[in-house]
Amino acid sequence: MGTPQDGLSEVVPQAGLHGVATGAIPVDSVDHKARSPVTEITSAQEGNPMTTSPERLLETSTSEAPRQDPATDLGVRRVTLEPWGVTVGPVSHLADERYRLSRLRFDHFEVRQVGATVGAEVHGVDLCTPLDDAVIAELTQCLHEFKVLFFRDQPLTPGQHVSFARRFGELEVHPFIPANPDHPELVRFEKEATVGGYENGWHSDVTWREVPSLGAVLHAVEVPPIGGDTLFADMGAAYDGLDDKLRTRIDGMTAIHDYSKVFGHAVKAADREAMRAQFPPVEHPVVRVHPATGRRILYVNRFFTDHIVGLDRDESDRLIDRLAAQAETVEYQCRFAWSEHSVAFWDNRAVQHYAASDYWPQRRVMERASIVGERPEG
């Protein structure tokens, strides 16, 4: 890459995920250190962008040269537009993982990759029927790779929904959200003109539990004609996108999570003491390590994370906001448009999600089974 233009700072070459480029290879021999063809492109770490003004970004290199794309002189790097601090340009640290995922193949079903590093539609599996252990094992592997799996045309009965989810572990019962009357393991989100959707914020489910969910299986029972999509963000990619200094700072930090930030208003006064005793504030790592993949994952959210241990309130609030904002980077996301009897199965350890609340006053009914996980470790 050539010498930076006047007024533009040097950039830091960027490696792949976790600083190691990861090329794509078939699923039966995954090697996360294999390199893809894009690895040789020199680029800037997303957290260490160069800075410029919008006017300079749009300039061409010389007035005499033939007109070319204004981005030509910038190479492959992130650029911050001042004075707003908005960062634009290729999110290049996703390239190797995107390529690796595109090469994965499975024996019992086909997949279509949805986002750069998150999301896959699965075809060739009928969730309404009992599945062989080999299929469940391969779905588990696929979930670890893509973080969220989508299925179409799965007219599950509540019993079939519970049976499928239970193949991946013990199911939890939510203490605050109403359940299917016949299956307490199924949380029922029944939204209409008198009940709004307030799940439109980035979060991982039940991080206020000592042992949060491993994952969740969400079934669309009734969907509005337009709207009500769910978005998912890869929080491993979000962690990798931080600059080295911030990653070093937060590794080893812990944070307190508390249900009362969201559900406290719904607890009756007479029940508050008992509920607090059952679900006290819990301490989890700010960066957790995925137990199956070894990925480092940002594990704070604005819904349930109260504060970071060892910081004063103002500093803690600023840091939580900074880290939680990583989920808002569109390049880390995928978006699922629901149809009746669609199913989403996500790894609650690896992603955060956001349910768009753009369908009011239309009716939207979803049922979710959540699988008990393990205590997060850093």
Which residues have a catalytic role annotated?
203, 205, 353, 368
Give the H or E element holding residue 144.
helix 133-146
Place of tokens 């290199």: 61
∠ Cα 132 295 306 (to 5°)? 105
Give the span between the Cα atoms of 79 and 85, in whole angstroms. Answer: 9
Separation CA 309–CA 351 (nearest Å): 23
**8 A C-beta contact, residue 326 and residue 153:** no
3-state secondary structure at position 336: strand
DSSP 109: -
CA distance 213 to 210: 10
Name the 3-class secondary structure at 278: helix
Contact 25, 7 (CB under 8 A): no
